[in-house]
A = this chain, B = another copy of it.
Amino acid sequence: MNFSKTLENVKAYEAGKPIELVVRDFGIDESKIVKLASNENPYGVSPKVKDVLRGYVDKAYMYPDDSFYELKELLAKKYNLTSKNVVIGAGSDQVIEFCIHVKAKDKKVLVANTTFAMYEIYAKVFGAEVIKTKDDMHNLEQFLEMYHEHKPDIIFLCLPNNPLGECLDKKDVFEFISKIDSDTLVVVDGAYQEYASFKDSAKKIDPKELIDTFPNAIYLGTFSKAFALGGMRVGYGLADENIIKTLHKVRPPFNITTLSLKSAITALGDEEFVNYSIEQNFIEMKRYEEFAKANGFNFIDSYTNFITLLFENTKFDSTVIADELLKRGVIIRNLKSYGLNAIRVTIGSKVQNDRFFEEFETLIK
């Protein structure tokens, strides 16, 4: 059977190895496995959300309110916007897909050389050409140059950037967008913004200020990271009403589950848990920085809940390290497929990080 030619060169996304797979492949006891590969919140689901969900599983047979009325109202209130500025996605991932679908089908997108893989995957799925900057990290001069040269329909800025962890300053981002024409959609992916703005207020992007200043910008947020609901698949886009109205045309009905909706609504009411998670994250991150220094390799200063350890100019090979750690039940992300001799490690809980350091040390000695 023949299929759309657009898809011939599309490869599927490679997700972080789930614990089930490691149990299966290596016969390691599930309780012994430490997964630091998918940037999940190591402090687990907030106690409030757990309580509410347990009482709500009875509703799983019913479709959710497809208007997502309550969640949109709460997000609008949180960001001082109206619900007409909000679209809900199955993770902010799905909002990325919506953006490419409505704006860049068979056209062009511009991204950093090393950034969130889904920009490129969705772009290819929709037949768009992917233009990349030369530098791995976000370099706005290069972005501007490529913008003038290629006239992309969408520019993706990942702030902070996954999988490297670096983050541009807000003032530089605003200056950059001011130079972009109003028919180019600028996507500001803030999946890890809660972490970045905690660490350094110069990184903080206020969605209202962003979209009030630039009607061609959209801000993406997620419940998967600081809000600890990675498994529930809830994200959102915040933008001018005209953009949101168009994104809704490609949104499938009931695109988040009944329990996802309830969990996101509840999580928004538990800022205490979110703040605790973020504070702990940076306390534990310090230990990774010290560990790297002690063992003679570099790292990228991170504004997220993960850290990228660089093995260039060392005796270490990221593929060997990733494979050996996996055999010992520690799952991290090898960045070799990005052309880097580096690994990305989610900052886990104290116990999880202890385990990482311990296994890593036995490996390199």
Residues of A whose CB lies within 8 Å of any CB of B are 1-4, 6-7, 10-13, 15-16, 18-21, 24, 35, 38, 40-41, 44-45, 49-50, 53-54, 57-67, 69-70, 90-91, 93-94, 97, 101-103, 105, 118, 122, 125, 182-183, 185, 215-216, 224, 228-233, 242-243, 246, 248-260, 263
Contact = CB atoms under 8 A, between A and B. Distances in A.
Number of identical protomers: 2
B228 A61 contact: yes
Contact of A63 (B102, B230, B252, B255): B230
A97 B101 CA distance: 13
Contacts of A62: 19, 35, 38, 40, 230-231
Contacts of A38: 62-63
A80 to B, nearest CB: 23
A228 B250 CA distance: 26
Contacts of A258: 230-232
A4 B183 CA distance: 12
24 contacts: A1-B242, A1-B243, A4-B103, A12-B249, A15-B67, A18-B63, A21-B69, A24-B69, A40-B61, A41-B61, A44-B58, A49-B57, A50-B57, A50-B58, A53-B259, A60-B228, A60-B229, A60-B231, A61-B230, A62-B231, A90-B252, A118-B253, A125-B250, A257-B260
Contacts of A4: 101-103, 105
Contact of A7 (B67, B249, B255, B257): B249
A249 B60 contact: no
B58 A45 contact: yes
A229 B122 CA distance: 28
A60 to B, nearest CB: 5
Nearest to A44: B61
Contacts of A260: 257
Contact of A252 (B57, B93, B182, B231): B93
Contacts of A182: 1
Contacts of A253: 12-13, 15, 93, 118
Q: Which of A54, A64, A253 has the most CB of B within 10 A?
A: A253
B50 A231 contact: no
A4 B251 CA distance: 15
Q: Which of A3, A38, A97 has the most CB of B within 10 A?
A: A3
Given A40-B61, A45-B60, A54-B57, 18 more contacts: A1-B103, A1-B185, A3-B103, A4-B105, A11-B249, A15-B63, A15-B253, A18-B63, A20-B69, A20-B70, A38-B62, A40-B62, A44-B58, A53-B60, A57-B57, A61-B229, A93-B254, A233-B256
A62 B42 CA distance: 9
A53 B57 contact: yes
Q: Which 10 A-B pairs have the closest CB atoms?
A: A231-B258, A18-B65, A15-B66, A53-B57, A61-B228, A13-B253, A10-B249, A20-B65, A3-B102, A45-B60
Contacts of A248: 12
A22 to B, nearest CB: 10
B259 A257 contact: yes
A60 B263 contact: yes
A24 B3 CA distance: 46
